[in-house]
Chains A and B, each alone.
Chain A
């Protein structure tokens, strides 16, 4: 009985150690996944939002132009 209990605890100990090392690996993987995800979102945001950003910055710059000056071909 005692031997089986000790074996069980040993097994559990090893199991938990194994789990923590795989936890460390998965933490790194999580960081990589998260940075990939954020880069993808940043790329989509830049793709759609860069030109509107320039337009917003330009329309708010010093001699403030109005919308007609932006849209009219003159």
Chain B
């Protein structure tokens, strides 16, 4: 969802009590959702880079109801068989509507070619919630949907996912010590008759997340490790290492995230020869300028984008 303020994912962190110096294992905080374990690293290393011109207008109709209009003009990549990517200039207009309530969140975004990107989240009780996402198109058999059931315990979280095309997954994560949380997942993809297992770990030094290290291994060959250090309040550095032990593919990247008074600059450099930067500058109240650049020296692919975000 390019150009969109990310939906509010607040980690459900409970206050932990310490009895003297002994760790109170019965009162550990609740870990982050499984998909969000690498959140700090991805905030620095994977900004929403784009190419072309982008204009987003977010209108607050109500405290709970928002409407967005976006226009994107630029080349979009069409993958071909020759592993060369062809860029076709396109222009598109998206309309989006968001409803945010403490118990219910609905988000819908529709483009001019009829594609709908819908998400919903409902907290049935304090600990149990149901999430659904769907990408619906007019083409036959290209639509996808997924339903997730989420249960949060005092220091653990568990999720069950059901997707179309008979995709099933379950994951579980538990805070083992006040700093370390471990988790695992299993998934089964019906169409390819593939199933897999994954493990993950996350270590963070304190609530302010000065240092976060996380790792994930899964049986489809992917091993990911990343480390984020908040050097000062305004600057954090992140590094990432992705290794595919089946295809023997390695990528390492280093990035930074620097907050200024009116702007935020994120940049990264990659072992594939990609250098990227993303700048968001608050020009005045309600007007933001976005500049994005992604330069791939190896493939000679240069992507530059600029955009305006009006709130």
Q: Does B274 contact A (CB under 8 A)?
A: no
The answer to whether B97 touches A54, judged by C-beta atoms less than 8 angstroms apart, is: yes
Residues of chain A with a CB closer than 8 A to B173's CB: none
The answer to whether A54 touches B62, judged by C-beta atoms less than 8 angstroms apart, is: no
Cα of A65 to Cα of B97 in the assembled complex, Å:
14
Count residues of B near A (Cβ-Cβ below 8 Å).
24
Count residues of A near B (Cβ-Cβ below 8 Å).
19
Residues of chain A with a CB closer than 8 A to B143's CB: 43
Closest to A63 in B: B62
Residues of B52-80 at the interface with A, using a CB-CB cut-off of 8 Å, are: 57, 59, 61-65, 67
Residues of chain A with a CB closer than 8 A to B63's CB: 62-63
Q: Does B106 contact A (CB under 8 A)?
A: yes
Given contacts A46-B134, A51-B110, contact A57 B99 (CB under 8 A): yes
Cα of A69 to Cα of B60 in the assembled complex, Å:
9
Cβ contacts A40-57/B at 8 Å (1 or 0 each) = 000100110011011101
Residues of chain A with a CB closer than 8 A to B107's CB: 54
Residues of B67-122 at the interface with A, using a CB-CB cut-off of 8 Å, are: 67, 95, 97-99, 101, 106-108, 110, 114, 116, 118
Do most interface residues of chain A lie in helix, strand or loop, or is the interface mixed? helix
Residues of chain B with a CB closer than 8 A to A30's CB: none
Cα of A55 to Cα of B63 in the assembled complex, Å:
14
Q: Indicate which residue in A55, A61, A64, A65 contacts B101 across the interface (CB closer than 8 Å).
A: A61
| B216 CB to nearest chain A CB (Å) | 32
| A46 CB to nearest chain B CB (Å) | 6
The answer to whether A65 touches B136, judged by C-beta atoms less than 8 angstroms apart, is: no
CB-based A-B contact count at 8 angstroms: 59
Given contacts A58-B61, A63-B62, A63-B63, contact A43 B95 (CB under 8 A): no
Q: Does A73 contact B (CB under 8 A)?
A: yes
Cα of A26 to Cα of B63 in the assembled complex, Å:
53
Given contacts A51-B108, A54-B108, A70-B67, contact A65 B98 (CB under 8 A): no
Given contacts A43-B136, A50-B118, contact A65 B65 (CB under 8 A): yes
Cα of A50 to Cα of B108 in the assembled complex, Å:
7
Q: Indicate which residue in B59, B97, B114, B138 contacts A55 across the interface (CB closer than 8 Å).
A: B97
Cβ contacts A14-55/B at 8 Å (1 or 0 each) = 000000000000000000000000000001001100110111
| A65 CB to nearest chain B CB (Å) | 5
The answer to whether A54 touches B116, judged by C-beta atoms less than 8 angstroms apart, is: no
The answer to whether B95 touches A73, judged by C-beta atoms less than 8 angstroms apart, is: no
The answer to whether B98 touches A54, judged by C-beta atoms less than 8 angstroms apart, is: yes
Q: Indicate which residue in A46, A51, A53, A69 contacts B61 across the interface (CB closer than 8 Å).
A: A69
Q: What is the interface of chain A, defined by CB distance below 8 A to chain B?
A: 43, 46-47, 50-51, 53-55, 57-59, 61-65, 69-70, 73
Query: Which 8 A-B pairs rank lowest in CB-CB distance, beginning with the nearest?
Result: A58-B65, A54-B97, A51-B108, A47-B136, A50-B108, A65-B61, A58-B99, A54-B106
| 5 A-B interface contacts by CB (under 8 A) | A47-B116, A54-B99, A55-B97, A61-B101, A62-B63
